Each structure stands twice: as C-alpha cells, then as structure tokens.
Amino acid sequence: MKAILFDVDDTLFDYRGASRLGILGYLAALGEVADEDAGARWEELERVEYARFLTGELTFVEQRRERARAMASQPLGDAEADAWFAGYREHFEAAWRTFEDVTPTLAALAGYGLGVLSNSDTAYQRGKLHRLGLGDTFRTVLGIDTIGAAKPDPAAFLAGCAALGCAPDETAYVGDLLDVDALGATAAGLRGIWLDRTGTGGGSPGVARVTSLADLPSLLERFRVGSATQDR
C-alpha cells in the first residue's frame, strides 16, 4: 500500500453523534418534543432524502428542505424551510468533533499518501476538515461535485487513486459503510477496509474489517507482508 483514501462522515468525523445532538438541541430550543424517537426520525429522513439527492431526484438544497418540512410542526415554504434548516445547522455544527482515534492514527500513517473521497460537496468537506483541525493532513479532498460520480461507482474510487498518483492495487479505502465504501472500493480494484465502529460484525470475503482506526497501521503492515486476515 502506498496511499489511503478515507471517507469523512462517521469515519473521521462523528457525523451521527453531531446530527443527533444538533436536532435534539434545535427541537428543544423550538419548544418541541426532543426525544430519541425524534432523533431516529431525523436520521431516517436524512438517509431517504440524501439518497434522492445522490440519484439526481432532488438538488442538495431540496433534500434539506424536504427534511425540514417533514420535521417542522407547521407547513413551510422554501424560504421558511431554508431558515428552519439553518437553525438546525447552528446546533449541528456546535457538536462537531472527530473520533478520538483519528489524530493519532493519521499521525502514524504520515508515510502514506493520504486523501479523502466523499459523497458530499468538496468545498463543504474541506471546510469541515479545516474546522476539525485536519485541513493540512490530506494530499487531496474529492467530492461528488468534482468527480461527477458517487460511491460505490468505480469511477469515484479511481478518481481518488488518480489524484494521489497511485494505482488502485496500491491504494486502500477506509469507510464506515460496508456496501458503499468497502465493497465499492474492492470492486474498483482498491483494498477495501470496513470501519465497523459499532461492532456489527459479519462483513464480506475479501474485505478487511476494523473496529477502530487505531487498528489500521498494523493491518496495513500485515497487508505489506501478506498476512492480513478478513477481520480484526
């Protein structure tokens, strides 16, 4: 391995935790019910509406408006939905943090070419990484707006390899989603690594699994000497 590409959300950045804290904090500030059911509903809305954006059914702004309308206690026009979502974002961004294993692991991997490949907007992820103190860590940051393809499309992974100047079989991809990240990368010829932070288990043949980024340096060393196994 000469290079490593990373997903961002729920891999480097605790997106799910920040989203949950953000929506519950915002609903509480609005005087509305802020419980675990509301948090779960918000998470499901994002999954559904963002998938519609990735397929081109909605624009990025429209998927945000749809989520806001579904959560708001009264009908919202476009401007009102935008304002509602902006209020949520204030609470969401206040909860931003990296996982504890991120900084030491990236320091340990300084000898590799490091990059980011995300199914989000490039400028947005660059800004996020900068705010999280990771702005100078990665050689390249790529999003769907600059690639023109979304994971698990092989074109997305191959664009990441090209940006790092490495062949697919010289590049690992690390992400929290087994299908979109690890299996998608493997199908494109990279070494797919599933970051299973919740310890779900299972996996797929040919895909390595780690439960913490702290396990990544030793896994890559085992790849180098040809002794890596599927799970860690």
* 46-98: pLDDT as tens digits: 999 999 998 999 999 999 999 999 999 899 999 999 999 999 999 999 999 99
- Region 115-129: mean pLDDT is 96
Task: Please state the CATH superfamily assignment of the domain spanning residues 3-14+97-225 in this structure.
Answer: HAD superfamily/HAD-like (3.40.50.1000)
Q: Which of 202, 162, 201, 209 is nearest to 181 (CA)?
A: 209
User: How many CA within 13 A on the CB side of residue 153?
Assistant: 14
Model confidence at 23, pLDDT cuts 50, 70, 90, reads: very high
Model pLDDT, residue 228: 55
Quick check: 227 pLDDT over 60?
A: no
- Region 161-180: mean pLDDT is 97
Which residues are 27's β-sheet partners? none
Q: What is the pTM of this model?
A: 0.89
> Over the chain, what is the mean pLDDT?
94
Model pLDDT, residue 20: 97
The full set of domain ranges for the chain reads 3-14+97-225, 15-94
